[in-house]
Amino acid sequence: MKKRTKKLGKYEIGRTIGEGTFAKVKFAKNTDTGESVAIKVLAKTTILKHGMVDQIKREISIMKIVKHPNIVRLHEVLASRTKIYIILEFVSGGELFDKIVRHLLSHNYGRYFLISWRLSFLCCWFPPGKYLSPLDSLLVHRVRLPENECRQYFQQLVNAVAHCHSKGVYHRDLKPENLLLDSSGNLKVSDFGLSALTQQGGRLLHTMCGTPNYVAPEVLGNEGYDGAAADVWSCGVILFVIMAGYLPFDEIDLPTLYKKISVAQFSCPPLFSPGAKSLIQKILDPNPKTRIQIEGIKKDPWFQKHYVPVKPRDEEVSLDDVLAVFDDIEDQYVSEQPLVNEGGPLIMNAFEMITLSQGLNLSALFDRQQDYVKRQTRFVSRKPARVIISSVEALAESMGLKVHTRNFKTRLEGRSANKVGQFAVVLEVFEVAPSLFMVDVRKAAGDTLEYHKFYKNFCSKLESIIWKPTEVPVLLDQ
């Protein structure tokens, strides 16, 4: 079977690690340095069709300006005749909340609690005592992250936001989903798609944007708002969430939610220390003029404990590559070079496997017992790649799902369980050794809990092709 891989200049492109409405994110390796990177791929036709040229250009320019240890780094921007490639730092630790889920699992409170937690934490963020049983409420408090650890993440978040503001950049969409962790556990702010860049002296911003539970009261009005004060509010909500495990403002209907946000109607759990409670109350002040500012946060006694300021290196920023890509969006700047024909699945080499498993212990790639709820899961098979794909297609069609397959990647689509939105899953086959294949499964649309249920049900019906953890894998043909 022929093997396929793709190169983009000096980058060897691997698996898809993220997929959205307008872009895909690919894992890649810089063949000159051996460094892992993430490549965000956007089709030029899509950008032009949806009138997103200025937005994408602004996002890229801002990411080049805000170089900081706690911000996902943008390396460079490339383009081909049909696509734009944004080369980003590869952050291997996942979202901050992935760590919180692993923390819960380490306490071994059982499947019942895990499902309850995910319902409250990732799906609806229900406050303990309001929708959870008293036992679950007690457990949420017992297994929450230590306050010192929460403080360290918050310090890194404030460092990043302060640096953005010093450059005239306001993020405007700060939320836990946009906080990543690197391999050393350091926080990295990502996703500047809604950020604003103001001229020196600045003016009030007027665009209402962000995620409802995290936006400041003044953003909900129509009189303009200060981007720095709005970001500070979002930081306060994030601090509350990582310490408490639920949102300070959370209602099913938006009018009620907005009403509570506008008057800052919330209360801190009793287990918050007095210092943390005091700082959160200063941050979640509904009046942006009296709300504590970044410099005030940095001087706060609770914040100051074990605080290590970060001074980023002054680097000369060039936007020449950004201008080159967007000045003539139809020009071809780099070549996409297929190394061999596409007769087989992509190869996942040892370097990529180690990166995927976040260390030298590869057991997580093969042990299905470790597949807790997350957006991306995987299983391993020793059946031929084409047999895997045909089995997936047959099962999906029997379940009434739409099936689209191309180059050993299959997209399954259907209606969500609540019949409101679309549910979609992407499965991609990789060869990790002769006669050993890994199937990467990721949610493309729909609810996380629904995806988890689908994955477990789907895998239970694919037992005939899934390699069992009790077997000893044969990595090489005898």
CB 233 within 8 Å of CB 249: no
Check residue 82 and report its DSSP letter.
S
This prediction has a pTM of 0.65
Looking at residue 98, its pLDDT comes to 67
pLDDT band, very low/low/confident/very high, at 240 (cuts 50, 70, 90): very high
pLDDT at residue 48 is higher than 70: yes
Alpha carbon distance, N-terminus to C-terminus of the chain: 18
Average pLDDT along the chain: 77
CB 298 within 8 Å of CB 44: no
The percent of residues in the chain predicted with pLDDT above 90, rounded, is: 29
Helix (H, G, I), strand (E, B) or coil at 240: helix
Cα–Cα distance measured from residue 160 to residue 234, given in angstroms and rounded to the nearest whole number? 13
pLDDT at residue 201 is higher than 90: no
State how beta strands 422-433 and 346-347 pair.
Answer: parallel
Close Cβ partners of 320 (under 8 Å, ≥ 6 residues apart): none
Q: In sequence order, what E strands does 342-435 have?
A: 346-347, 376-381, 402-406, 409-415, 422-433
pLDDT, tens only, 164-177:
999 889 998 898 88
Q: What is the arithmetic mean of pLDDT over 60-67?
A: 88
Cα–Cα distance measured from residue 25 to residue 222, given in angstroms and rounded to the nearest whole number? 35
Looking at residue 376, its pLDDT comes to 57
pLDDT, tens only, 404-414:
988 888 999 88
Q: Which of 230, 287, 243 is nearest to 154 (CA)?
A: 243
Helix (H, G, I), strand (E, B) or coil at 454: helix
Helix (H, G, I), strand (E, B) or coil at 167: coil
Structural domain spans, the chain = 144-304, 344-467
Helix (H, G, I), strand (E, B) or coil at 5: coil
Q: What is the arithmetic mean of pLDDT over 273-291?
A: 95
Cα–Cα distance measured from residue 427 to residue 362, given in angstroms and rounded to the nearest whole number? 20
CB 174 within 8 Å of CB 214: yes
User: Binding site membership for ATP: which residues?
Assistant: 49
CA-to-CA separations, 377 to 102, 438, 441, 471, in angstroms, rounded: 15, 10, 5, 20
Cα–Cα distance measured from residue 111 to residue 105, given in angstroms and rounded to the nearest whole number? 9
∠ Cα 406 7 63 (to 5°): 100
Q: What is the DSSP string of 175-235?
A: -GGGEEE-TTS-EEE---TT-EEPPTT---B----S-GGGS-GGGGSSS-B-HHHHHHHHH
Higher pLDDT, 204 or 420: 204
Helix (H, G, I), strand (E, B) or coil at 386: helix
pLDDT, tens only, 426-442:
898 888 777 788 888 88
> Looking at domain 344-467, what is its CATH homologous superfamily?
Kinase associated domain 1, KA1 (3.30.310.80)
Looking at residue 277, its pLDDT comes to 95
Cα–Cα distance measured from residue 277 to residue 26, given in angstroms and rounded to the nearest whole number? 41
Backbone torsion region of residue 428, taken as left when φ is above 0, otherwise alpha when ψ lies between -120 and 50, otherwise beta:
beta
Helix (H, G, I), strand (E, B) or coil at 269: coil
Looking at residue 202, its pLDDT comes to 55
pLDDT at residue 337 is higher than 70: no
Q: What is the arithmetic mean of pLDDT over 74-96?
A: 87
What the block records as the tokens of 361 is 């212990």
Question: What residue type is 138 in one-letter code?
Answer: L
What the block records as the tokens of 348 is 């996942």
Higher pLDDT, 219 or 475: 219
Q: What is the DSSP string of 288-327?
A: TTTSPPHHHHHH-HHHHTT-----PPP-----HHHHHHHH
Could you confirm whether domain 144-304 is CATH 3.40.50.1100? Answer: no
pLDDT band, very low/low/confident/very high, at 100 (cuts 50, 70, 90): low
Cα–Cα distance measured from residue 286 to residue 384, given in angstroms and rounded to the nearest whole number? 60
**Phi, psi of 30, rounded to the nearest 5 degrees:** -75, 110
Active-site residue numbers? 173
Q: Do domains 144-304 and 344-467 have the same CATH topology?
A: no
pLDDT band, very low/low/confident/very high, at 276 (cuts 50, 70, 90): very high
pLDDT, tens only, 243-269:
888 889 988 778 888 899 999 999 999
Helix (H, G, I), strand (E, B) or coil at 271: coil
Close Cβ partners of 354 (under 8 Å, ≥ 6 residues apart): 360, 362
pLDDT band, very low/low/confident/very high, at 343 (cuts 50, 70, 90): low
Q: What is the arithmetic mean of pLDDT over 37-50?
A: 87
User: Binding site membership: which residues?
Assistant: 49
CB 187 within 8 Å of CB 157: yes
Check residue 71 and report its DSSP letter.
B
pLDDT at residue 471 is higher than 50: no
Question: What residue type is 248 in one-letter code?
Answer: P
Backbone torsion region of residue 36, taken as left when φ is above 0, otherwise alpha when ψ lies between -120 and 50, otherwise beta:
beta
Alpha carbon 250 to its chain's center: 21
In residues, how long is the chain? 478
Q: What is the arithmetic mean of pLDDT over 177-184?
A: 88
Q: What is the arithmetic mean of pLDDT over 289-294?
A: 96
